[in-house]
Structure 1
Amino acid sequence: MAPLACVLYLSIENESFNETSLKHLVYKAQEENKNHGITGFLYYKQNHFFQYLEGAPDDVNTLLENLKKDT
């Protein structure tokens, strides 16, 4: 069995999301994650994002580094 890494994190939005922009964010994330074999879930409530991600360690670490840079 291949190694598996997981990350659980909480973040706060720095711009307001409406239903359309939130759907766009989810779609974009799903496409990118699919391309890198990453699965998980995203929960949004009251300006907070709660996300769980899992996949190959290198892919998860790369995604996490990119998320840290994301404004």
Structure 2
Amino acid sequence: MTTLRTIVYVSSATHKLSEAEMEALLLDAREANQRHGITGILLYGEGNFMQCFEGPPDAVALIYARIRASRQHHDLITLMDEASAERYFPDWYMGVTPASHSAQLELSSAQWQRLSRDASATAPPGMQLLQRFWQKLAR
């Protein structure tokens, strides 16, 4: 079984992104993610990002370094960074959906630490909440 790495973070945009800026960001992210075998989702709303991405550990490290170096956001906070046995969002190179400030606050305030060290154990409560949110809104 191949071990994957999953990261979830939140950050604030340096300015409210226009539709064209958001489209360019998504196009670039999807291309890079596909090239490196990364899947995940992005929530954006009211100037805030929440992203979950997953894949081979080396590729995730490369993409996260790129994200941290981006000048399009600041105040990046890592909520989850751990090994996982399977992908949480396997069908999306970079799925995206709008999310209100209150929805992002609820998601980011959830418990993101695994209750067991076993990577095959049940997903952390925060991840379970994010998956339910995604299933309801991103169609």
* TM-score between the two structures when normalised by the length of structure 2: 0.49
Structure 1 residue 57 corresponds to structure 2 residue 43? no
CA distance in 2, matches of 1:28, 1:66: 12
Structure 1 residue 42 corresponds to structure 2 residue 61? no
CA distance in 1, matches of 2:40, 2:23: 16
Higher RCO, 1 vs 2 (CA within 8 Å, ≥6 residues apart): 1
RMSD over aligned Cα atoms: 0.9
Equivalence for 1:67: 67
**What's the offset of the Cα at 1:66?**
1.7
Kindly provide the CA deviation profile for residues 18-59 of structure 1, in whole angstroms up to 9, marking residues without a partner as x: 112111111110011000000000110100011000000111
SS in 2 for 1:49: strand
Farther off after superposition, 1-10 or 12-21: 12-21
1:49 maps to amino acid: F
Equivalence for 2:22: 22
SS in 2 for 1:15: coil
CA distance in 2, matches of 1:27, 1:66: 15
Farther off after superposition, 16-25 or 4-13: 16-25
* TM-score between the two structures when normalised by the length of structure 1: 0.92
Q: Which consecutive residues of structure 1, in runs of 5 or more, have no partner in the other structure?
A: none
CA distance in 1, matches of 2:39, 2:30: 8
CA contact (8 A) 2:33 2:39 kept: yes
Give the percent of matched residue pairs that are identical in Structure 1 and Structure 2.
32
Q: Which consecutive residues of structure 2, in runs of 5 or more, have no partner in the other structure?
A: 72-139
Q: More helix per residue: 1 or 2? A: 1
